[in-house]
Amino acid sequence: MAQRPAFLSSDPAGLPARRAALRLMDAVLRRGETLDVAEHAALQGIRNPADKALARAIVGEALRWLVDLDALIDSATRMPLAPDAKARAVLRLMLAQWLRLDTPPHAVVATGLELLDGGPRRLAHGVFSTLNKQAVTLPQVPTLPDRVQARWGALVAEVAPGLASPPPLDLTLKDPAATAEWAGRLGGTSLMPGHVRLARGTRVEDLAGYAEGAWWVQDLAASLPARLLGPGEGRSVLDLCCAPGGKTLQLAAAGWQVTGLDSSAKRLQRVEQNLARTGLAADLVQADARTWGTAERFDAVLLDAPCTATGTCRRHPDVLHRIGQGHITDMAALQADLLVHAQSLLRPGGMLVYATCSLEPQEGEAQAATVPLTPAPVTEQDLPAGIAPTPEGWVRTHPGMLAQHGGLDGFFIARWHLSA
Ligand SMILES: C[S@@+](CC[C@H](N)C(=O)[O-])C[C@H]1O[C@@H](n2cnc3c(N)ncnc32)[C@H](O)[C@@H]1O
């Protein structure tokens, strides 16, 4: 069972958080919105940060364990509830609180049934009470939705254990030489120079080093693509699809002259804020990376392409339920165009790194196989201990890897150079 977060209380006054959780889950499952987008509207009007955190935690657990929660609900009703029935949605949230967040059953009932104003309260109460009397439990590892299982095949057994709990908090340091110092100051551990891992639930704004920009939040796997370009020593790099800027910051901190390009003006503002906080510099361009023209040719191009983000399923479990083959095909077409244009912006001898935070081979391995440049295979020394490159010299990470240390996001990364 997940550790009980401090913000949880058995006070039925926590109703606004539960109402927000219901809105949030509805936006994801019925309207197909991302958790990030849905949060903006669903959490509006909730002032208390603890209530927001509670709403997020409930929905996160409900989405991670949705298949298993539904199986429990179905085991306790003679008449199956429709997949989109409000009573099912409320029961999912109630069970997630009881079975994953350790909320006492009386508090779950007091706040849960209120959400079914004018609806089948007796039915929901009956289902919850039956399961409570049976003292049901969840499996050790979440069952993934059928279509995810169909796509991931044998990988499911390796990935699913990594989804049982929300991930820890990873930081990338501006100065990798100070890794031991920051790990000590922040009470974290490190899996690589420049990386510090903290317990989940830590509020970043309260941590030492945040205000002065000594680090930024970035999953360990997400830090690998920029690391593969090595020290910049004043050379030029084009960071394509750069916002919100995690890799831009890494490259600037490693001594590259960075041009960061993204199509979203709003997201570029976040890159600017991140550069300002960390005191790092980059030229920013708002443009479409499929067509952006310039006479300049770069010593390196990093293409962290837009993708379905199924590799971030630990922190964004909505992807398990939202993403289907249509999204993957659309993203793969966009990535193919981006990858072709990225190659045209390299100078002879220049290095290209391609990355996506997706677990779908169409967005990773299949894209890399089309690149006609000279492979620059990744070696074990480039990676955290315990992660090996593929036989092709590519990197494939997933949430089940480094499980004893808290896992990591799913990424695909490949590297080439343009022959001089
Ligand atoms: C995976 S995110 C990039 C994350 C970023 N590299 C980082 O490390 O913080 C993908 C980005 O691609 C941008 N994007 C999507 N389509 C684009 C296009 N055609 N041209 C340029 N940027 C695009 C999105 O706005 C988004 O910011």
Q: Is 7 exposed, middle or buried (0-12, 13-18, 19+ CB in 10 A)?
A: middle
Q: What is the pLDDT of residues 330-387, one digit of tens each?
A: 999 999 999 999 999 999 999 999 999 999 999 999 999 999 999 999 999 999 999 9
Q: State the pLDDT at residue 378.
A: 98
304 labeled binding residue = yes
Distance between start and end Cα atoms, the chain = 56
Q: What is the pLDDT of residues 282-323, one digit of tens each?
A: 999 999 999 999 999 999 999 999 999 999 999 999 999 999
Q: State the pLDDT at residue 411.
A: 98
Q: What is the pLDDT of residues 374-413, one digit of tens each?
A: 999 999 999 999 999 999 999 999 999 999 999 999 999 9
Q: State the pLDDT at residue 79.
A: 86
In the reported structure, the alpha carbon of residue 268 is separated from the centroid of ligand 1 by a whole-number distance in angstroms of 10
Are residues 213 and 279 in contact, defined by beta-carbon separation less than 8 angstroms? yes
How many alpha carbons lie under 13 Å from residue 246 in its C-beta half-sphere?
A: 18
- Nearest CA among 63, 57, 69 for reference residue 17: 57
Cβ neighbours around 382 below 10 Å, total? 18
Q: State the pLDDT at residue 12.
A: 55
The mean of the pLDDT values for the chain is 95
262 labeled binding residue = yes
- Residues of the chain with pLDDT > 90, as a percent, come to 91
In the reported structure, the alpha carbon of residue 247 is separated from the centroid of ligand 1 by a whole-number distance in angstroms of 11
The yes-or-no verdict on residue 2 having pLDDT over 90 is: no
Which residues are marked as active site?
357
Q: State the pLDDT at residue 144.
A: 98
Over residues 66-78, mean pLDDT? 97
Q: Which atom of ligand 1 is nearest to the CA of 242?
A: 6
Residues with CB under 6 A from ligand 1: 241-247, 262-264, 267, 288-290, 304, 306
Q: What 8-state DSSP symbol labels residue 256?
A: -
In the reported structure, the alpha carbon of residue 244 is separated from the centroid of ligand 1 by a whole-number distance in angstroms of 8
The yes-or-no verdict on residue 9 having pLDDT over 80 is: no
The amino acid sitting at 52 is K
ipTM value greater than 0.95 = yes
Fold of 12-133: N-utilizing Substance Protein B Homolog; Chain A (1.10.940)
Q: State the pLDDT at residue 323.
A: 97
Over residues 205-227, mean pLDDT? 96
CATH class (in words) of the domain with range 220-417: alpha beta
Residues ≥6 apart with Cβ < 8 Å to 42 = 20, 23, 24, 27, 55
- What is the residue with the minimal CA distance to atom 25 of ligand 1? 264
246 labeled binding residue = yes
- Domain segments of the chain: what residues? 12-133, 220-417
